[in-house]
Amino acid sequence: MNDSFVTIAEQMRTADTILLFTHINMDGDALGSSVALCRALRDLGKTCYILLEDEISDNLKFLDKDYCTWDPEIMKDPDLCVCLDCGEEGRFPKRAEKFREGKVKICIDHHRTSDPICDYNHIDPEASATGELVYKLIRCLDVPIDKEIGEALFAAITTDTGNFQYTNTTAETHRIAAELYDAGIDGNYVSIQIYERIRIERLRLTTRILDTLQLFGDGKVAITYVNQEMLDETGAGMDEAEGIVATLRSIDGVQISAILKEKNPGEIKVSMRAKEQGDVAMIAKEFAGGGHKKAAGFTLHCSMEEAVTLVSEKAMENLANGY
Ligand SMILES: [Mn+2]
């Protein structure tokens, strides 16, 4: 059962010190929703920070105006610890101990989970982005949404909806976006920061990865991979392979796409996407992974060649079963 935003807002009003957490490999939703909430809580006079354990990617740095810290000692025994866009300690492993220090713990997330870990949880898999949920929470906190909060929320929502293209995009998503425009956001500025500041190294890596593209099942399944050698050759980081899996899905006729990332020799992280057909959460579940019907991931322990074969077979089987 979800706790209402009214209940959660009440908890926030009575707290003085609040520490926010989000998942590793932050995306625009993770950081955008955290920044928006941090700013709103500071507007209410709270001492509030976002505690991180990894670096903010260059295209999201514009969001952090002194909200983020990497120092767990910044706050002793916070009144409240809030995890956003994630609901399990494995998503913030190095900060899990600090999270438990919170006198009260709250989770705000849109990833489906079977067992919520916090005292108060608002988990809504129907929400396109955690940013949508934070928008509603800020409304309950009675904090006016200004340009800065609005742009952070817009960054969150544009990221997780694939710029309002994915199936999770609803009338509600657009209504919230409209409210953000009314608050004075510059949507074009946010989009340029997020989408149009690509490093040349990233583009070179993309070229290398696309060279590995293989199609299976009459062109319905597209699979690529990236290994450490490609990173060394191009000077790009593994995080810069993000987004390619969505590009693959955009190929005409493709229903399921996958990118296989060699984290370590023999350890392969698989990210999958589905278009109109296919349920990649079903595949991920089989390998102890997680995600949504149209976007999911898991880890395999085998060679790249074996992984490509296995993933292609699972994808074709998934489509054949009518998902
Ligand atoms: Mn999200």
In this predicted model, what pLDDT tens digit does every residue of 150-202 receive, in sequence order? 999 999 999 999 999 998 999 999 999 999 999 999 999 999 999 999 899 99
- The pLDDT value recorded for residue 114 is 76
Share of the chain above pLDDT 70, in %: 100
Instruction: Please state, in angstroms and rounded to a whole number, the distance separating the CA atoms of residues 312 and 292.
Output: 19
Residues 37, 186: one domain?
yes
Model confidence band, residue 112 (pLDDT cutoffs 50, 70, 90): confident
Instruction: Note the Cα 247 to chain centre separation in Å.
Output: 17
41 and 78: one domain? yes
**Could you give the percent of the chain with pLDDT greater than 90?**
94
Inter-residue contact 128 to 166 (CB < 8 Å): yes
- pLDDT at res. 229: 97
206: three-class secondary structure by DSSP: helix
The verdict on 253 and 119 lying in the same domain is no
Centre of ligand 1 to C-alpha 242, Å, is 14
Q: Indicate whether 247 and 142 sit together in one domain.
A: no
Looking at the structure, tell me whether residues 93 and 162 fall in a common domain. Answer: yes
CATH number at residue 207: 3.10.310.30
Overall average pLDDT of the 281-289 stretch: 96
- Centre of ligand 1 to C-alpha 36, Å, is 14
The β-bridge relationship of strands 290-291 and 68-69 is unpaired
What pTM does this model have?
0.84
Summarize the confidence of residues 247-268 as an average pLDDT.
96
Report the mean per-residue pLDDT for the chain.
96
What's the 34 CA to ligand 1 centre distance in angstroms? 11
Give the pairing type, strands 17-22 and 80-84: parallel
* Residue 181: CATH number of its domain: 3.90.1640.10
Shared domain for 70 and 189, answered yes or no, is: yes
Q: How far is the CA of 162 from the centre of ligand 1 (A)?
A: 11
Residue 292: the pLDDT is: 86
From ligand 1's centre to the CA of 129, what distance in Å?
A: 5
Query: Same structural domain for residues 179 and 248?
Result: no
Domain boundary among the residues 162, 195, 228 is at: 195
Same domain, 135 and 47: yes
Cα-to-centroid distance, 218 and ligand 1 (Å): 32
Across the beta sheet with 17-22, the strand order is 68-69, 47-51, 17-22, 80-84, 104-109, 120-123
pLDDT band of 115, cuts 50, 70, 90: confident
Residue 53's CB: how many other CB atoms inside 10 A? Answer: 15
The pLDDT assigned to 283 comes to 97
| Cα distances (angstroms) measured from residue 32 to each of 68, 128, 183, 200 | 12, 14, 16, 25
Spatial separation of the C-alpha atoms in residues 263 and 21, rounded to whole Å: 24
Total of domains in the chain: 2
Residue 201 alpha carbon to ligand 1 centre in Å? 26
Domain boundary among 146, 170, 195: 195
Q: How far is the CA of 160 from the centre of ligand 1 (A)?
A: 6
Angle between helix axes 28-43 and 147-160 (nearest 10 degrees) is 160
Same domain, residue pair 206 and 178: no
Domain coverage including residue 98: 5-195
Whether residues 191 and 204 fall in one domain: no
Question: Beta strands 104-109 and 120-123: pairing type?
Answer: parallel
- For residue 51, how far is its CA from the centre of ligand 1 (angstroms)? 17
* Residue linked to tokens 């909806």: 161
1 pLDDT more than 90:
no
Q: Cα of 305 to ligand 1 centre, how many Å?
A: 31
Can you give the pLDDT at residue 321? 95
Given a cut of 90, whether residue 113 has pLDDT beyond it is no
Find the 233 Cα to ligand 1 centroid distance in Å.
Answer: 31
